[in-house]
Homo-oligomer: A and B are copies of this chain.
Amino acid sequence: MAVTIKDIAKYAGVSVTTVSRALNGYPDVSEETREKIKKIAEELNYSPNSIARGLVTNKTHTVGLVVSELIKPGAYHPFFLEILAGIKAGLRKDKYDLILYTVDPASQDVTPYEKLCNDRKVDGAIVEGLKLSDPYIEEIKNTDIPTVLIDIPILNDKVGYVSSDNVQAAFEATSYLIKLGHKNIGFINGHNDAAVSFERLEGYKKALYKNNIPYKDEYVVFDDFTQDGGYNCFRKMIFENPEITAVFHASDLMAIGSLKAAQDLGMRVPDDISIVGFDDIELSSLITPDLTTIRQENYKIGYMAARHLVSIIKGEKPKHIVVPHRLVIRQSAKKI
């Protein structure tokens, strides 16, 4: 039998109203009795029943984290942990709890976004790793549940988003390759079902244009962000366009796939071909040659998403937050 506000009231000889007001820092209660109540609460080891509180306030001090099926055996999200750690850190200050939803497409028809959030009475949600074609996306465009998306540009009265400046990042990576003397630069992009793919393509094109290098459709291929995707794309691209001397990738996993493919083809990296990735996952610095890539501050992305979400919950206006990236120069790209 946990101790309730009633026990305290009885003990202190006051009403439950007064106990509630005292403990929650309201006025209308003398300092003297407030201290007495606090002391008793302390002694009885009282802690408020969050469920009961939630029932009346309609707030749970809990936010949801919605990730897609990216957490599944054999295809683990490469930097989910970093984002998660950032989110937890961002939530800590305001003492929000985090409840984790992993949605698999099979059950999404059954449980739409709003139902998911309402059933569990979360005060808001962070959404990460959804594809553009995901049914949740349309729903989120019109929701009034405080929501912050990661890497998905939606903005309205209650929803904001945070991301890197993907256009600029891709621009810098490509420009770097150009500066190294490369002219025939391939781009192995992510699938069309991610907003970042379009942005990164734009940055790639921009860099070519600025340096008067003609854009060629056949130098750009799309695939999912995985290692296998990179492996296959690279083989095909190099086979059809042997003049290519450098390849920029929309993910490190794909870059690593290319690296393997190159090695299997007897090409040396970076001597025969330069490779640049995107993300700077942990693995990138551990392989040989280690990967030149764009570092995304995923911890910070998570942190900012969390901070922004609580600000939206508190009534502030949603916005687009961009967190800085930077080009990390290692061994996989070389001057020609």
Give A contacts to B, CB under 8 Å: 2, 47-52, 54-55, 60, 62, 71-73, 76-77, 80-82, 84-85, 88, 97-102, 115, 118-121, 256, 282-283, 286-288, 299
Say yes or no: B115 contacts A47, CB within 8 Å: yes
* Oligomer: number of copies: 2
Cβ-neighbour of A55 out of B52, B71, B99, B102 (below 8 A): B52
In the complex, the 6 A-B pairs of residues with the closest C-beta atoms, listed nearest first = A71-B85, A99-B99, A76-B81, A51-B54, A98-B100, A51-B55
Cβ-neighbour of A119 out of B50, B55, B81, B287 (below 8 A): B50
Say yes or no: B76 contacts A71, CB within 8 Å: no
**Cβ–Cβ < 8 Å partners of A48 in chain B:** 119
**Cβ–Cβ < 8 Å partners of A77 in chain B:** 81
| Nearest CB in chain B to that of A100: its residue | B98
Say yes or no: B88 contacts A100, CB within 8 Å: yes
Say yes or no: B60 contacts A71, CB within 8 Å: no
Say yes or no: A99 contacts B102, CB within 8 Å: no
**Cβ–Cβ < 8 Å partners of A84 in chain B:** 71, 100
**Majority SS at the chain A contact face:** mixed
Say yes or no: A85 contacts B73, CB within 8 Å: yes
- Given A72-B85, A88-B71, answer yes or no on A100-B99 (Cβ-Cβ < 8 Å): yes
| Nearest CB in chain B to that of A72: its residue | B85
A23 to chain B, nearest CB (A): 14
A140, B102: Cα distance in complex, Å = 28
| Nearest CB in chain B to that of A111: its residue | B47
A85, B60: Cα distance in complex, Å = 25
**Cβ–Cβ < 8 Å partners of A287 in chain B:** 286-287
Cβ-neighbour of A81 out of B49, B62, B81, B88 (below 8 A): B81
Say yes or no: B97 contacts A120, CB within 8 Å: yes
| Nearest CB in chain B to that of A77: its residue | B81
| Nearest CB in chain B to that of A64: its residue | B97
| Nearest CB in chain B to that of A75: its residue | B85
A70, B256: Cα distance in complex, Å = 27
**Cβ–Cβ < 8 Å partners of A85 in chain B:** 71-73, 76, 102
Say yes or no: A47 contacts B81, CB within 8 Å: no
| Nearest CB in chain B to that of A88: its residue | B102
**Cβ–Cβ < 8 Å partners of A283 in chain B:** 283, 286
A308, B78: Cα distance in complex, Å = 28
- Given A84-B71, A121-B51, answer yes or no on A286-B60 (Cβ-Cβ < 8 Å): no
A62 to chain B, nearest CB (A): 7
User: In this complex, which of A2, A76, A118 has the most chain B Cβ atoms within 10 angstroms of its Cβ?
Assistant: A76
A102, B96: Cα distance in complex, Å = 12
- 28 A-B Cβ contacts within 8 A? A47-B115, A47-B119, A49-B121, A50-B119, A51-B51, A51-B54, A51-B55, A52-B55, A62-B99, A71-B81, A71-B84, A71-B85, A71-B88, A72-B85, A73-B82, A76-B81, A76-B82, A77-B81, A80-B81, A84-B100, A85-B102, A97-B101, A99-B99, A100-B100, A256-B286, A283-B283, A283-B286, A288-B288
